[in-house]
Amino acid sequence: MILNRVIAFIGLGNPGEKFSNTKHNAGFWVVTEWAKRYQLSFEPGKGQYIVAKHRKRGVLLIKPLAGMNLSGTAVKQASNEWNLLPSETFIIVDDVDLPLGKIRLKPKGGDGCHRGLENIIYHLQTDNFPRVRLGIGTEENMRPAEKYVMKPFKLNKKSEVDRMIVLGADVLDSISTKGLDSSMNKFNS
């Protein structure tokens, strides 16, 4: 018997209105944009996350709700619920070391000093999962990074942020239809 596999796009961020416009929520923004494209609605998952399902494409959109630095619990819960392999678990995450609007796909890697990724690696006991890194770096003073990521973008960056969100959703489209390798070739140029 052949089982249909699914992939999960897990957008990292912090839940709640207080954090909704902070740079750290770039992962949330991108999965929300992809959900809007396909009129998908988020509903409570069987753990500390909400989930939307694109059944035709076999894609889960997940937003952990425990907070950025505790994302690993929800990722592990979702992985267990849908029997996801690490290679099917795509983490959509902000990256202060990439310029605003730049997107990088990686098949695996370390945490890059990102506490959300660090917690996911801890809970999954592997760093062998793909990630879509969303550049949030600007000319502002970005150190300490912990403070920079918890602030909204300046108003004059809105159009660049909006373009990054749309491009991020385009990346998810590509991954879900053409796969990771083809998408890396297209978007990592």
DSSP label of 70: G
Cβ atoms within 10 Å of 35's Cβ, excluding its own: 21
Across the chain, the runs of DSSP E, i.e. the strands, are 7-11, 43-44, 49-54, 59-64, 89-99, 103-106, 131-137
Counted residue by residue, the chain has a size of 189
CB distance 72 to 121 below 8 Å? yes
CA angle 37, 81, 173 (to 5 degrees): 25
Residue indicated by tokens 């999954």: 124
Strands of the sheet containing 7-11, edge to edge, are 43-44, 49-54, 59-64, 7-11, 89-99, 131-137, 103-106
Residue indicated by tokens 């070391």: 97
Q: Which residues are catalytic?
A: 24
